Structure 1
Amino acid sequence: MDKWEMYMEIQQLLKQGFSQTKVAKKLGISRSTVYRNLKKSPSEMAEWVDTLKYKKKKLDPYKELILSWLKTHPDMSAAQVQDWLQEKYEDLKIGESTVRTYVRALRAEYNIKKETSPRMYEAIPDPPMGEQIQVDFGHTKQKSADNKEVKLSFIAFVLSNSRHKYKEWLDRPFTTQDVIRAHENAFNWYGGMPNEIVYDQDSLIVVSENGGDLILTKEFQHYRESRGINLRVCRKADPESKGRIENVVGFIKQNFAKHRVFHNIDSWNEQGWEWLNRTGNYKIHNTTKKRPVEVFLLEKQHLKPVSKSIDIQNNYETSITRCVHKDNTIRYQSNRYSLPLGTYNKYEKVCIKETENKQLIIYIPDTGEIIAKHSIPEGKGLLIKDRKHSRDRTKGVDAFIDTVAQRFDDKELAYQYLAMVREKNPRYIKDQLQIILRETKGNVSEVLTRALIECVKKKLYSATDFSDIVAYVKRQRRVHETVLDVKKEIRPLNKLSGWVMETEAYKRKIDSYTVLLEGEF
């Protein structure tokens, strides 16, 4: 029932003799709502209802963007809309109910229906804090930047009490070593390990189950003994015993992965960790009605400390090796650490060592040569970079600016202009310089000088603006030249030909005019 219909119903019931209290009870509204409606005349009510239609909403500036998402992905949830908005606009503060109401109104206005198929789970009591982590795997198919389909796999962890989550992705199937490595990263993420870990019957962990006696894979059995893990494997088709992790797997698929474009596995994992901090562990849980990140601060105190680091590649000794990625970085505790340029071309793996004062030492396995040192930060999903490991990009840009400036007659003014272009467009300065250089090659110095002066005068510090001004100056120049050509062809009116100047006009005698005036012929 809309507000105008409610107003009319209240008026009708009052005419029928119902008291205001009875009207409120009959319509299922509060008495204060009845009182507010009675204060307005029909004309006032009509005007007020009309103003509501055009009342500005907080999400109106993002209407076209949200509408494009809903039209492209009709099954998109309001929660995912909120996450995408917060990912795109970090400073946007918006409540869940506001987004739900706005999305619901857009669906109704543009007739965008949503189909859902929710899965039901039986509620079971939460285990004590620090008691249990549930683990499961998931798979998705994503569209890549070139519109190809990519199959991705992920492993997810969730603390059963606080619902605090962790996940890792691979663009290939997981191996047992991948699973072990993910466990180590998860323990670093949580800052400890629980008393029990609950798994599904996955072949990477369990070979077979004989009347309750588990036979684990050789690698995982070795890891279990090294870490002292107390594990429990769920029966098949038993979602109630691991319903929390199944909800997490579904949440990751529907809220994070759905409709997201895949570029590469590193950026995908970084987006995933940012999503955990922004939404996965920050959003209020529907069951507990609390934020997992806040409850985790208490549960973290009940986790068992992880005493030593384990190297999965080297017989589980204390030394740790890491693969060198194409971007000359390594991963450690869910963060990336930079290496000197060219390391990837020289070494496949490097060794790392964490010191007592939270320093990460990276060295070559064979020689022991230290190639990098980094401080270990508190956060996750970060890029820790040493400036010495980057090439000096400014030298290339400075040289490029010199090349472009030399193409102008007024070089001093050109340097000033290009410096402002660089300040306004630091990320795209090379593209900007390339456009300006192209203009200088195809135009005369007079046109370039006039365009440069005009750009500085009007404060147009962009390569596209410079191109437009060059085109304008060229058009003006052509018009001026055309006018000059026309002037040359047109003979001036104040000049007479030579034969006219040499001709002597016939002169009558004065007596002829006298006769005419007197009327005599």
Structure 2
Amino acid sequence: MKEWVMIHKMKALYDNGKGSSIRSIANELGASRNTVRKYLRLDEAAITDMQENRERHKVLDDYRDYIIHLLKTYPRLSAVKVFRKLKEKVGGIEISDRTVRRHIRSLKKTVAFKQKRYYEPVLDMIPGVQCQVDLGELRQVQIGDETRAVYFAVFVLSYSRLMYVTAYPRPIDTDAFIHIHDAAFRYFGGCPEECVYDQTRLVVIKEIFRELELNQRFYQYAMQAGFQIRVCEGYDPESKGKVEAGVKYVKNNALYAETFSDWFDLEAYLSNWLEETANARRHGTTGKVPRQFYEVEELGVMKSYFTPSCIKKTAGSPEIRKVDKTGLISWQSNKYSVPMAYQKATVGVDAIDHKLLITDLETGAHIAEHVVCQEKGRVIKNNNHYRDHEKRTADLETSVEKQLGNLLGRSICKLLKATSPKIYKDQLAGLISVLSGYDCLDSGIMERLARQPSLTVTKIQDYLEAYSLSERRVIQSESSGTSVDLARYANIARVNKVEGGRHAIH
């Protein structure tokens, strides 16, 4: 029975709930109750559209084999181009682009169009050329009285399959990554011509169109050590297969089902496992024992390696982090804020005594500080980082200059900043508040204040209050016929005498 005929029959039997039940309709037509419910929910417009689509798809079904041939030959071919090629082959077709896209989308669900991948030989047949490096993590390892995660790095020489592995109790950062390379090359007794990595941020900050922005500290180490950095395409483990297998080998053979009394016990175990198991077994691919194969055929062609001078500086050098567009940097699985002026910039980061210190790489200036969060997945934010303090200060200075005049206003601002640099913005806000309380200011008193060796807002306030009080007394005296203009600054003099006990808090 045609689908839309069945739908109309279901609707007739159901009669908007006045006729047969869904169960009896399902039994009569041999359909499931869910199917009956689905079709009863369709209105006439939906049924008509479904009917038209069926007819349109019939047209494309006539060319199904040709479409499949195109998609299998050219898997990335768009629906628009498929339609164009179809029209070129058979002439005009009365059908829309949208219908073609829907048809091809449904076709791809039923037919696999996998693009063939082509492979090329890699440089594992030349000794001393390549080392593959990868990081791994295994959780729930029993160490002492607790289970914890173990982070490790694996190095595999592509020719001899000689392996080096070391473990860390916390996520491996750039410092640790550099020191691990140093230890690995000293273990090998030499350095390969290139090392291959996936796109870890320890090596690559970002990639755009295969243009790489490298971690500059690691790049500096690689240049001094004498090896080239080669980075795989993202999500392509096949291009780094040897070390991927090595990571699984460490997880499943070295660490799985083992318990350790402490961290030193784990390190000693791994060292012993390397010598007695990993590098002493007969390798399944080469058919040779890695340690023996390396010493006979590869050690002699490895480049000489000496610990570079930058290693000694590593501990005191900041790690490099890229600030994202929201003003956050990543550090050990958490996000920390920096001032908004550094959004999308690069900054230096140091962790010292449970504090995260963030610096400007160009000036070395300290720009932010956070307490290191021991949890993961947190965002640690200082709201002050998202305020434009320079603009706020400039706006306050402009307001002062409008009230006092440009020249006098700048002089007062300069003196306030010299006296209290750490609270200058607060002093400006306070000055505006004080000045707003006076409708008419005597420029003489403000000019006298501008010539003082130091100045605070409280001092300005005291002077203005004393001046205002003495002015009122002069007016009162003049009304009684006595002129006491010279007494106008009497109160100001008294303020000067007691001023030594007042100062701004920095």
TM-score, structure 2 normalization: 0.37
TM-score, structure 1 normalization: 0.36
